[in-house]
Amino acid sequence: MKGNEALAEAAIRAGADAYFGYPITPQSEVIEYLMRENPADRTGMQVLQAESEVAAINMVYGAAGCGKRVLTSSSSPGISLKMEGISYIAGAELPCVVVNVVRAGPGLGTIQPSQSDYFQAVKGGGHGDYKMIVLAPATVQESVDYVKLGFDLAFKYRNPVMILSDGIIGQMMEKVELFEQMERSTEEFEWATVGKKPGKNSVVVTSLQLQSEEQEKVNLRLQAKYREIEKNEVRFETYGCDDAEYLFAAFGSCARITRKAMEMAREKGIRVGLIRPQTLYPFPVDEVNRLASKVKGILTVEMNAGQMVEDVRLAVNGQTRVEFYGRFGGMIPSPDEILKALEQKIIGG
Amino acid sequence: MSEKNIISPENLVYEKTSVMTDRVLHYCPGCGHGTAHRMLAEVIDEMGIQGETIGVAPVGCSVLAYYYFDIDMQEAAHGRAPAVATGIKRVFPDKYVFTYQGDGDLAAIGTAETIHACNRGENILIVFINNGIYGMTGGQMAPTTLPGMKSSTSPRGRDVKTMGNPLKITELIAQLPGTYFVTRQSVHAPANARKAKRALKKAMEYQKLDKGTCFVEIVANCPSGWKMTPAQSNKWMEEHMFPFYPLGDIKVPSE
């Protein structure tokens, strides 16, 4: 299936209650698929094309505030528009899944794939001290599985989850195994606006605290939650790290290309491994730190001007040298280029 | 001793609806918000829908409306209340959903959300408090500020040539096929408040019948923002606001 369509089908099967979105290349197939499939008939899931990404994310806020499983999807410029709403969702501690099929920027940029929204996804993007859980699929299969995982994590922590995909994964056709249709939940949460219950306090969904003392308490509670997430939810894969002299670090589709470069290097006798963070937040700090103590150098490969490399450097904490190789503006690095960069910047550097 | 205890049951002719909490309103003396809140709360009470109503508060003076309505509520980002209400209504089509928004929220930053929710005919009630000024941020010019009217960002009066014209968004909304009932009311005098309440009740009843968007504007005073006493502000409203924003129904159901 095509990545975007598989993801849309996964949303239906994950028992989503609603999708709100606005078309933008290269992710329009998500809403097109949903409109064609008409999940209202299959599961009762609601699908609405909003007037803007701003409206879509606020529809997500409203439905998530009712305790429903809601998602939206967009691509980079549209995600920028959603950032206000994402900050409110994080502040009001509502669960939702936001999919970013990244294209190159800044500005309108180009519709070609990129990973240049790493900072926006991982470091904030919207205002205020908040974090999204960020999942980075490298395959169509993972983008399907992460919809389900995303909802689970979103509800476990009452926190927005972003699936940081890109135009390659969104547009690519791959074999995919879809999970069975899940039933839509009928659970009523005590934090959700479902109508005031007799004898109970009315529920308010808000991110507003006028008193600094109260707002600080909210911030402290959020930070405690983020520490829990960092403790429990780090996910990554490593390849060829046991005997590695050198290390690649890459995520998403770029990690697949880098893996090819790794295999080519090994054929030449260069013992190089690869770490692929599947969660960009929380970042696999401990694992990168552990591997850094064993290798002579790390090359971070990204389809941007060098974003995740900053987190790699923080995790490495000076134990070994960290270099960066990237292509951007919608250009995709070839395994040859990556291998050459390893040889020049790390081995020969 | 509370007031209730000193009034014997046979003499009790009027009491606060239980849909309003006991919290002291933070609104300025003479402000119309309190009465508007109460009229809406009484409607919810009389219809017996306290447990089935979900409200959406705006950003503006009524940002804390959820302190006063004893119903489940969500606080929206500035201007986004109609989108938030859309999200709620789409997953809870059988609940009563309303937004309560000021002029800056609804007619400036949230114009797109307002128009499109109305144009889709979202089956919600939008309550629009129009006092022609940004009250909460300290009296700046609003999209509905009258020509020549002074505010902290139009200190020499609104010059329509450079600052644009006041937006009669309610008339604009009434053009949209998605809206079913559009009216302009006020709450500054008992007779007006009663009329406004009737309009709010009608709107909630239409929502039950799935008729589309109902839009109730309430032209209100802002003594603090207008730098007047409450009495002066009501008089000024009658003399200046009502001629520009005439009270009455703008779109009524054809049947």
Contact A195 B75 (CB under 8 A): no
Mutation site for B-interface testing, chosen from A34, A71, A193, A208 by largest number of B Cβ within 10 Å:
A193
Min Cα separation B102/chain A (Å): 18
Q: Is the pLDDT of residue A215 over 50?
A: yes
Quick: pLDDT tens for A33-43. Answer: 999 999 999 99
Cβ atoms within 10 Å of B248's Cβ, excluding its own: 9
What's the mean pLDDT when you consider all of chain A?
97
Considering chain A, tell me which residue range(s) the CATH 3.40.50.920 domain(s) occupy. Answer: 236-347
In A106-248, alpha helices (H): 118-122, 140-157, 167-171, 212-232
**φ, ψ at A204 (rounded to 5°):** -125, 125
CA atoms within 13 A on the CB side of A294: 17
Q: Is the pLDDT of residue A220 over 50?
A: yes
CA angle A168, A170, A174 (to 5 degrees): 85
CATH class of A3-194+221-232: alpha beta
pLDDT value for B3 = 56
Nearest-CB residue to B87 (from A58, A84, A88): A58
Q: Is the pLDDT of residue A243 over 80?
A: yes
Query: How many CB pairs (< 8 A) connect A and B?
Result: 128
Which two structure tokens, joined as six digits, stand for B185?
A: 């009311």
Rounded distance between C-alpha atoms, residue A255 and residue A90, angstroms: 29
Quick: pLDDT tens for A59-88. Answer: 999 999 999 999 999 999 999 999 999 999
Rounded distance between C-alpha atoms, residue A62 and residue A79, angstroms: 18
pLDDT value for A120 = 98
Considering chain A, tell me which residue range(s) the CATH 3.40.50.970 domain(s) occupy. Answer: 3-194+221-232
pLDDT value for B4 = 56
Residues in A closer than 8 angstroms to B75, CB to CB, are 92, 204-208
Question: Looking at residues A146-165, what average pLDDT do you find?
Answer: 98
Which 3 state secondary structure label does DSSP give B125?
A: strand
Question: Looking at residues A144-171, what average pLDDT do you find?
Answer: 98
CA separation, residue A342 to residues A247, A336, A349 (Å):
9, 10, 9
CA separation, residue A263 to residues A138, A237, A248, B14 (Å):
17, 16, 12, 82
Question: Looking at residues A197-203, what average pLDDT do you find?
Answer: 95
Min Cα separation B123/chain A (Å): 14
Q: Which residues of A117-141 are buried (b: 16+ CB within 10 A; e: fewer)?
A: bbebbbebbbeeebbbbbbbbbbbb
Which two structure tokens, joined as six digits, stand for A18?
A: 């609603």
Q: Is the pLDDT of residue A179 over 80?
A: yes
Contact A204 B86 (CB under 8 A): no
Numbered residues of chain B with Cβ closer than 8 Å to any chain A Cβ: 50-54, 56-57, 63-64, 66, 69-77, 80, 83-92, 95, 112-113, 116
Contact B72 A51 (CB under 8 A): no
pLDDT value for B2 = 56
All domains in chain B, ordered by first residue: 24-247 (3.40.50.970)
Which two structure tokens, joined as six digits, stand for A174?
A: 């791959």
Q: Is the pLDDT of residue A244 over 80?
A: yes
Question: Looking at residues A313-337, what average pLDDT do you find?
Answer: 98
Contact B83 A206 (CB under 8 A): no
Rounded distance between C-alpha atoms, residue A199 and residue A207, angstroms: 25
Nearest-CB residue to B72 (from A52, A60, A195): A195
The verdict on ipTM greater than 0.90 is yes
Quick: pLDDT tens for A285-301. Answer: 999 999 999 999 999 99
Q: Is the pLDDT of residue A185 over 80?
A: yes
Contacts (Cβ under 8 Å, ≥6 apart) of A149: A135
Low-confidence ranges of chain B (pLDDT < 50): 1
pLDDT value for B1 = 46
Closest residue in B to A198 (Cα) is B51
CB B151 within 8 A of CB B228: no
Rounded distance between C-alpha atoms, residue A73 and residue A11, angstroms: 11
Question: Looking at residues A165-190, what average pLDDT do you find?
Answer: 97
Describe the strand order of the beta sheet including A236-239 as a list of residue ranges: A236-239, A272-277, A246-249, A297-302, A321-326
Nearest-CB residue to A51 (from B63, B92, B116): B116
Q: A236-347 adopts what CATH topology?
A: Rossmann fold (3.40.50)
Helix (H) or strand (E) holding B205: helix B190-208
Burial (CB count <10 Å: 0-12, 13-18, 19+), residue A97:
buried
pLDDT value for B254 = 80
pLDDT value for B67 = 96
Rounded distance between C-alpha atoms, residue B27 and residue B177, angstroms: 35
| pLDDT band at residue A90 under the 50/70/90 scheme | very high
pLDDT value for B54 = 98
Quick: pLDDT tens for A98-125. Answer: 999 999 999 999 999 999 999 999 998 9
